[in-house]
Structure 1
């Protein structure tokens, strides 16, 4: 493929935001090879391993585990690398997307803004952070709900038998698909501890606990996983860590009372997992000036993409709900918030890579039910899915040229089915059934 076809330089934003980022066009087979190699390098010889969601909440937990093990990396190297990126004017945001933002982003490789310092190509520069994933005695494996089984298998393959394993901010949809590696790790590892705040199926939680796993699940509408880790780890954390958990919760639960929480969320999305965990481990919720400058620089493009997605939105009346549906490469939480402020009860953001984010409001707490009907899941007010409608690249070509019409149709059908269920339940209650 001609590189110029996926190079955004000189292409109008109205066009390139309709397409996935460069990472989408990177073959999965090569991506798997690279991920396998990096995971092996991070895991082998480690005293402990953390499998964490690659968002601010999961990576805050990883930073806490490293603090508890006195295994944090030197932040100075990362600050120097960030300053170098700013000086070079590096604005290539789509080289690789990791499993960031909310649950659905794990299925969205290459769709949104990617991290700045971790590319597919072998880096031949003198960046002192290139091998950061190999340095700490607490290995970090960033994962998502769709790659949790693979991450567990890699720990099983490469970790020492007496390793301490932590799983943070991840909830399996079904126990069976993680059963084999988790059962083996429960037998071989020195300990397995799991911290989360998502809504777990009771049978899945019971099956995990029956293995001897220390599973701690916080209330999903009151705590983020950083809160859970902070109170569960046997370590005397200082006030800085409690503040980090509070600010992380502010964004993760969409409370939006502390402006620093947006900085953390954006930075976790634009930074590599090692960089984020190291920086917040050193500074907590008050990011250093170099990072603030980096975040501000990236937000110029972010805001423009949000505006484009909002302009594309179309509203639909489904039952008693007003559902706003849009398409594009954008930051879905901010787009959803803007659409809610305009009167939508729920917002759907369909992504060029084929997945979609579903966001609710106080008047709509069924996002996870809709997502569950189209190959997804999540929270009552924040969920994600990737409908099983893409068989080949022609289907994706149609997806891009029609702004996701097929995806929008099946998700709206999910809304209609849930609306019928809710109406039937309300009628039954009125009749005393």
Structure 2
């Protein structure tokens, strides 16, 4: 494929936001091979391993664990690299905002050989494996295969839907795994995890983020900045939105590489340095334009007692959802070019996880993600891109209809909550 066909540079935003990032077009077989090599390099010889969701919450946990092991990295090379990227108008490859339901939205134009932090995954004695919920089994398998015997393993901000895919790996790592989370766990899965000797600590999903859980679970006298980091991370992760710094953390975790984020929040906490401020500013101009485009494409559907705003595009889903809520929507659906979708609720709609659960996903009552199983080949994706995700929108709206019927039949209020053990999607 001609690289120019998947290069955003110089193309109208109205066109390239309808397509996935360049990473989508990189063959899975080659990507898997590269990921396996990097993971092995990270794991071999490490004193401890952290498997964490690649969002601000999961990465804050990784930074805390490195601090507890006296294995934090020097922030200087990461700041220098960010300054160069901000000057060039280029960003790091963004991580998956919706866990395993979203293909990585790679936006970098810088060759890996030009990045002085390219091999940063090997620098710390506490290795970091960013992973979404559906990649958790693979990450655990690689740790079990390559880690030294008795290595400390931490799993953070990840909730498995089933025990079976991770059973063999956890049993081989028995007695060395600590697991911190705040999602809604299936009781049978939690019991099975604990039965093999895992120290599982699950906080209340509507009160704590996983950074809170990690902070109180580690036997370390953390300095004030770490408590502030947990508080600001919670502000965004639980969608409290009272601290302006939480948007900075969320954007920085999304746009930067995982090692960059962990090194800099580890050094500075939630008060990020000028190098990060400049970098974020250079990215936000485009971010705002993408949000505007997605909001302009939105169509509101009446489903049961709810107004559901549905849109399509490569964008920051939380901000788009907030704009749609401000316009009167009870719920928002943002369909992504990679085939996944984010579902966001509100005080008047707390069934996002139930809708997602009907279309190959899960999450929280007010924040969930899914990827409907409707893509058989590239022709299906071509149709997806040229119709702004019409088929995906239809199956998700059908799931809304089914949930509305269930709620009505049960005589529940429209905003009632139901327990569910879904996957993380609360960015």
The reply to whether TM is greater than 0.5 is yes
The match for 2:249 is 264
* Whole-angstrom CA distance in 2 between matches of 1:282 and 1:315: 44
1:124 is matched with which residue: 97, 106, 113?
A: 113
Does 2:154 match 1:141? no
Q: Structure 1 residues 5-14 or 246-255, which shifts more?
A: 5-14
* Whole-angstrom CA distance in 2 between matches of 1:27 and 1:152: 23
The match for 2:102 is 108
Give me the TM-score of the superposition, normalised by structure 2. 0.94
Q: Cα RMSD (Å) of the superposition? A: 1.5
1:54-93 to 2 correspondences below 5 Å: 54-90=54-90
The match for 1:431 is none
Q: Deviations over 1:324-368 (max 9, x none)?
A: 100000000000000001000000000000000000000100000
Q: Deviations over 1:2-51 (max 9, x none)?
A: 11211122211111111111110000001001100111111111110000
Aligned partner of residue 153 in structure 2, secondary structure: strand
Structure 2 gaps, min length 5: 414-427
The match for 1:330 is 315
* Whole-angstrom CA distance in 2 between matches of 1:212 and 1:45: 23
Aligned partner of residue 411 in structure 2, secondary structure: helix
The Cα of 1:116 is off from its aligned counterpart by: 4.9
The Cα of 1:233 is off from its aligned counterpart by: 0.4
The match for 1:201 is 186
The Cα of 1:130 is off from its aligned counterpart by: 2.0
Give me the TM-score of the superposition, normalised by structure 1. 0.93
| Aligned residue pair count | 413
* Whole-angstrom CA distance in 2 between matches of 1:427 and 1:368: 16
2:143 is matched with which residue: 149, 155, 168?
A: 155
**Contact 1:116–1:270 (Cα < 8 Å) also in 2:** no
**Contact 2:356–2:362 (Cα < 8 Å) also in 1:** yes
* Whole-angstrom CA distance in 2 between matches of 1:116 and 1:62: 24
* Whole-angstrom CA distance in 2 between matches of 1:151 and 1:115: 24
The match for 1:246 is 231
The Cα of 1:427 is off from its aligned counterpart by: 7.4
Does 2:368 match 1:368? no
Aligned partner of residue 124 in structure 1, secondary structure: helix
* Whole-angstrom CA distance in 2 between matches of 1:37 and 1:237: 34
* Whole-angstrom CA distance in 2 between matches of 1:79 and 1:4: 30
Summarize the Cα distance change of 1:7–1:115 in structure 2 as closer, same or farther, 3 Å threshold: closer
Aligned partner of residue 369 in structure 2, secondary structure: strand
Aligned partner of residue 261 in structure 1, secondary structure: helix
